């Protein structure tokens, strides 16, 4: 019952009147409801902790409902009073520090997101390659050929790159055929001498 009362009087009623203030473009009403929402946000944050420690206190929930009614009342103007006496002076004096902390937290969270995103992609790629290499050799070779092709075609100037290995790399042939391993330059010179003979 208490939750429904707080929901009805603490959020739905003020939300409707906030809507009316925005619709009518009445600055006085708009400021009044903005002060209420700031106080209500602080109340909700504090309530999360006080519910844990003070729920055993007699009439605790009834006091919360009375506090919300006091905040909303046009006669007591509780939210306006709390905002002007406590919240505004405190936030005004600490505004620069709060802004700096928020900017740092935003930067750190972005850096952490990028870092963990890269790590996650690396882990996923490694797992996919491992699964492919364990399960099917043909699929593994196909994946490897695609990845090597992609790596060799990426250049800043957009010029096509030969798809073969670089000249200094060694070309390894299958030991099943019994052919010796030789470097590309050696195979090119052997190939060119073979074409000269013909």
Residue pLDDT, tens place only, 44-96: 889 888 888 887 888 888 888 899 889 988 888 899 999 999 999 998 998 89
Q: Where are the beta strands (DSSP E) in the chain?
A: 170-171, 182-183
Q: Residue 117: CA atoms inside 13 Å, Cβ hemisphere, count?
A: 6
- Give 127's contacts (C-beta < 8 A, 6+ positions apart): none
Question: What pLDDT, on a 0 to 100 scale, did the predictor assign at position 83?
Answer: 92
Question: 185 and 167 in contact (C-beta within 8 Å)?
Answer: yes
pTM: 0.52
Domain ranges of the chain: 1-76
Cα–Cα distance for residue pair 101/144, rounded to 1 Å = 46
Q: How far is CA 28 from CA 33, 53, 144, 179, in A?
A: 9, 38, 67, 90
Q: What is the mean pLDDT of residues 121-139?
A: 72
d(CA 98, CA 142): 54
Q: Which of 24-38, 59-73, 99-113, 134-148 has the lowest mean pLDDT?
A: 134-148
Q: Express the helix, strand and coil content of the chain in percent, nearest 5 each.
A: 75, 0, 20
Residue 28's H or E segment, with its range, is helix 27-54
Token digits for 28?
């006085």
pLDDT exceeds cutoff 60 at 113: yes
For residue 22, pLDDT over 80 is answered with yes
Contacts of 42 (CB under 8 A, 6+ apart): 87
Higher pLDDT, 16 or 151: 16
Averaged pLDDT for residues 26-53: 88
């Amino acid at each position: 019952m208490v939750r429904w009362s707080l929901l009805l009087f603490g959020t739905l009623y003020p939300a409707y009147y906030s809507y009316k203030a925005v619709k009518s473009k009445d600055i006085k009403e708009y400021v009044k409801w903005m002060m209420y929402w700031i106080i209500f946000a602080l109340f909700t944050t504090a309530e999360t902790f006080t519910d844990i420690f003070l729920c055993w206190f007699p009439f605790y929930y009834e006091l919360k409902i009375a506090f919300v009614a006091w905040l909303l009342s046009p006669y007591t103007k509780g939210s306006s009073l709390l905002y002007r006496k406590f919240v505004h002076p405190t936030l005004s004096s600490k505004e620069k520090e709060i802004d700096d902390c928020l900017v740092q937290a935003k930067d750190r969270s972005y850096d952490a997101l990028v870092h963990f995103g890269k790590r996650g992609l690396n882990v996923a790629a490694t797992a996919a390659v491992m699964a492919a290499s364990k399960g099917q050799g043909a699929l593994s070779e196909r994946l490897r050929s695609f990845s090597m092709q992609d790596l060799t075609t990426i250049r800043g100037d957009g010029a096509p790159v030969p798809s073969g290995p670089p000249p200094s790399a060694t070309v390894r042939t299958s030991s099943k055929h019994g052919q010796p391993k030789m470097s590309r330059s050696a195979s090119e010179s052997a190939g060119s001498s073979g074409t000269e003979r013909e």
